[in-house]
Amino acid sequence: MAKKYPIGIQDFEKLRKEGYYYIDKTSYVYDLVEKGNYYFLSRPRRFGKSLLISTIEAYFEGKKNLFDGLAISGLEKDWKKYPVLHLDLNTQRYETENSLLSLLEENVVGWEEKYGRNAAEVGIERRFAGVIRRAHEMTGERTVILVDEYDKPLLQTIDDEHLQDAYRTLLKAFYGALKSEDAHIRFAMLTGVTKFGKVSVFSDLNNLQDISMDERYADICGISEAELSENFSEDIRNLAEANGQSLEEASIALKERYDGYHFNPWTSYGLYNPFSLLNTFAKNRYRSYWFETGTPTSLIRLLKDSKYDLTNIKNNDIFTDSLYAPYDESHPLSALYQSGYLTIKDYDPEFRIYKLGFPNNDVRDSFMGFLQSYYTLAQDTLIHG
């Protein structure tokens, strides 16, 4: 039977029930649940964050049958069912001050229909806290909270200072429930592309464990060389045949085009972009699949506003404290790293300096080509109006 590639599939239950191929990451889920309660994970877009959140949701909902044959089936014995509040901020266009509030309102109303409403709770943040509390009281199990793409409202309004301030204020109050209702929470995880809102949005949430650079979870998203060899040997062979290559040539081409992501300086191996790999195997053709799904126009504007010397973009040094700095013109390199256009190439522990560079040829060639086109277009517009 031909392998079904889970391209664009972000729902774990759908993936398992409909026979899509899955690289087993469930041992990481078990490890996270056993060792802590509150987590934050930053990864570039289309790196598997949403699928990870959905996998955790299925686990906490006690859907044991979905995990048959996976690592966690031999680790978990109890399979309890917990109340899960899953908030996906990737489903809205954030164009007005009410855009974020309306999405939060829609989710909270749905949860209140299930777990009850207290009329004395005024404000979206107090109602959210009330839902967390009542879900625990009604089910007898503490509540699980999963937030996917927490930073989407802030990323979409990066050029609008007014909306940025409004969204930060609202999100800070809303996420404050994760601390005030700690006694009623079993587990919480938030994911996003960036940490640029972390200082202001999560300033009171000091119990959030950031695993973005934790080497224990380096390949919790993405595909390692070992996983590629173990799961896709036949696919590489088919790719080689379709492109008139030897097996070795195809393997080298995949590595040069899609490998090379490092999210900490201690893990020696790089990670392949899963979206690019799966598309390549599905179509048996090499293309810039990841880059083509989102042009970096806002990042180019950020570089331009910062007056950054673009001739240095292939080889950059950045201090540790700046690697996850806010998304603004004073930190253009951190924005490029967090969004996946640059990655860690080396680290100097004495001076606490990271060396950043393009992860692979695919990102390098696509980004530099887009950069050249953008500036050529901008210059033509300036000249010809």
Angstrom distance (rounded) from CA 48 to CA 50: 6
| pLDDT, tens only, 112-153 | 999 999 999 999 999 999 999 999 999 999 999 999 999 889
The residues spanned by each domain of the chain are: 12-217, 223-292, 297-384
Model confidence at 199: pLDDT above 60 = no
Q: What are the helix (H) ranges across the chain?
A: 12-17, 26-35, 49-60, 97-115, 124-139, 152-156, 161-175, 177-180, 198-201, 225-231, 233-242, 247-258, 274-283, 289-292, 297-306, 332-338, 361-384
How far is it, in rounded angstroms, from Cα 245 to Cα 236? 10
Indicate the pLDDT class of residue 296, thresholds 50, 70 and 90.
confident
Query: Does the structure show a pLDDT above 70 at 384?
Result: no
Q: What is the mean pLDDT of residues 6-24?
A: 97
Residue-level pLDDT at 318: 85
Q: What is the pLDDT of residues 67-122, one digit of tens each?
A: 999 999 999 999 999 999 999 999 888 999 999 999 999 999 999 999 999 999 99
Q: Are 174 and 128 in contact (CB under 8 A)?
A: yes
Please give the Cα distance from 191 to 212 (Å, whole number): 9
Confidence of residue 308 (pLDDT cuts 50, 70, 90): confident
pLDDT score recorded for residue 208: 84
Mean pLDDT lowest for which of 157-166, 222-231, 290-299, 328-337? 328-337
- Are 212 and 261 spatial neighbours (Cβ–Cβ below 8 Å)? no
Q: Choose between 219 and 310: higher pLDDT.
A: 219
Residue 325 contacts residue 331 (beta carbons within 8 Å): yes
Q: For residues 275 and 257, what is the distance between their CA atoms, to the nearest angstrom?
A: 12
Q: How many helices (H) and strands (E) does the chain have?
A: 17, 10
User: In angstroms, rounded to a whole number, what is the distance separating the alpha carbons of residues 165 and 171?
Assistant: 10
Whether the per-residue pLDDT at 381 is higher than 50: the answer is no
- The CATH architecture to which 12-217 belongs is 3-Layer(aba) Sandwich (3.40)
- The sheet with strand 84-88 has its strands ordered as 84-88, 143-148, 185-192, 38-42, 209-210
In degrees, rounded to 5, the angle at the alpha carbon of residue 321 between the alpha carbons of residues 316 and 324 is 75
Token pair belonging to 36: 């802590």
Does 298 score more than 80 pLDDT?
A: no
Q: What is the pLDDT of residue 203?
A: 66
Dihedrals phi, psi of 114, to nearest 5 degrees:
-90, -35
Task: Kindly report which listed range (45-49, 189-193, 381-385) carries the lowest average pLDDT score.
Answer: 381-385
Tens-place pLDDT, residues 262-290: 999 998 899 999 999 999 999 999 999 99
What pLDDT shows up at residue 385? Answer: 44
Instruction: Give the 3-state secondary structure of 119-139.
Output: CCCCCHHHHHHHHHHHHHHHH
Instruction: Identify the H or E element spanning 189.
Output: strand 185-192
In contact, 356 and 312? CB cutoff 8 Å:
no
Q: State the pLDDT at residue 314.
A: 67
- Beta-strand relationship, 343-348 and 316-319: unpaired
Residue 332 structure tokens: 């253009």
The Cα 103–Cα 91 span in angstroms is 9
Q: Residue 101 contacts by C-beta under 8 Å, 6 or more apart in sequence?
A: 124, 170
